[in-house]
């Protein structure tokens, strides 16, 4: 019989479970992501995710709405922002502060030799 999973008591645990559930690995040194906090004068203001690989950025971008919904269902509010560089590379931000930004993926320009 499967073991019941206790509800996440902290936002760090909640978002880490969600991202691991998407197949990403947690930790530094060749892993996909880590979860950390933003502190002011020793007080934690918010929690955010650091993505270490392009693969992690792409998975987070592809599942942005699912991540937000799962965090909300777990009792924590996280915003997943998705931005694109001029070259078309995706950059994500996952945090429980501020607001989200969702940019549309830029169209790939076809360059023809003249």
- Domain boundaries along the sequence of the chain: 11-95
- pLDDT at position 112 over 70: no
Q: What is the pLDDT of residue 61?
A: 96
pLDDT tens, position by position, 83-95: 999 888 999 999 9
Give whole-number Cα distances, 89 to 34, 37, 54, 63, 105, in Å.
Answer: 20, 25, 9, 16, 9
Arithmetic mean of pLDDT, 44-71: 96
**DSSP code per residue over 48-67:** EEEE-SHHHHHHHHHTHHHH
- Residue 104: the pLDDT is 86
Q: What residues contact 89, with CB distance under 8 A and at least 6 apart?
A: 54, 57
Q: Which long-range contacts (CB under 8 A, 24 or more apart) does 29-33 make?
A: 32/56, 32/59
Q: Provide the pLDDT for residue 2.
A: 60
């Amino acid at each position: 019989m499967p073991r019941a999973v206790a509800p996440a008591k902290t936002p760090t645990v909640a978002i880490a479970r969600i991202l691991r559930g998407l197949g990403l690995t947690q930790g530094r040194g060749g892993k996909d992501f880590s979860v950390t906090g933003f502190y002011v004068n020793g007080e934690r203001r918010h929690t955010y995710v650091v993505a270490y690989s392009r693969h992690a950025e792409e998975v987070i971008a592809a599942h942005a709405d699912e991540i937000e919904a799962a965090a909300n269902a777990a009792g924590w509010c996280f915003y997943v922002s998705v931005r694109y560089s001029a070259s078309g590379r995706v950059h994500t931000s996952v945090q429980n502060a501020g607001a989200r930004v969702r940019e549309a993926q830029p169209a790939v320009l076809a360059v023809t030799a003249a």
